[in-house]
Homo-oligomer: A and B are copies of this chain.
Amino acid sequence: MDDLRLKRQVCFALYAASRAVTGLYRPALERLGLTYPQYLVMLVLWEHGESSVKDLGAALMLDSGTLSPLLKRLETVGYLARRRDPADERSVLIGLTPRGEALRGEAATVPTTVARASGMAAKELSALRDTLVALTEAVTATAAHQTDGVRR
């Protein structure tokens, strides 16, 4: 018989922690006019420059159903520009406008501000991050394997 007590569930701990930490970002990001997923998109673009919707989706594990309207909103407020890839007309390239690029400076202090508010040491946080990345990789590998198994 399995243990169904809420406090024993790793899944709930993850779900609760993710929402709590996102909430910690909210006030800082509100000042930048960004939601949390929008901020993640900006992180990718600041780091890698112009990217296809596909590449953004791969980096953030999001599909076009989530990204398309999100990118449209960021385009409307003037942080992004989109253009077709001349080499492959199926692909759409998302780039930063000057305003979007300029936002990077304002965002620079966000991570350490939040990290400090988290009440955990930097070493502890990076250990946690590594564990979470390993978990995510294990889980996505399992999920991919399962769907493969079903299909074959």
Contacts from A to B (Cβ < 8 Å) = 1-25, 27, 36, 40, 43-44, 46-47, 59-61, 104, 107-112, 114-115, 117-120, 124-126, 128-129, 131-136, 138-143, 146
Contact = CB atoms under 8 A, between A and B. Distances in A.
A125 to B, nearest CB: 5
Given A19-B61, A22-B15, A4 B108 contact: yes
Contact of A135 (B12, B21, B143): B21
Q: How many copies does the complex hold?
A: 2
A128 B135 contact: yes
A142 B4 CA distance: 29
Given A14-B21, A132-B13, A133-B13, A139 B118 contact: yes
A105 to B, nearest CB: 10
A143 B10 contact: no
Contacts of A2: 108-112
Contacts of A140: 20
Closest 8 CB pairs of A and B: A119-B138, A13-B132, A18-B18, A17-B132, A20-B139, A13-B129, A14-B18, A17-B136
A46 B5 CA distance: 9
A151 to B, nearest CB: 14
Given A40-B12, A136-B13, A138-B118, A111 B143 contact: no
A104 B43 CA distance: 42
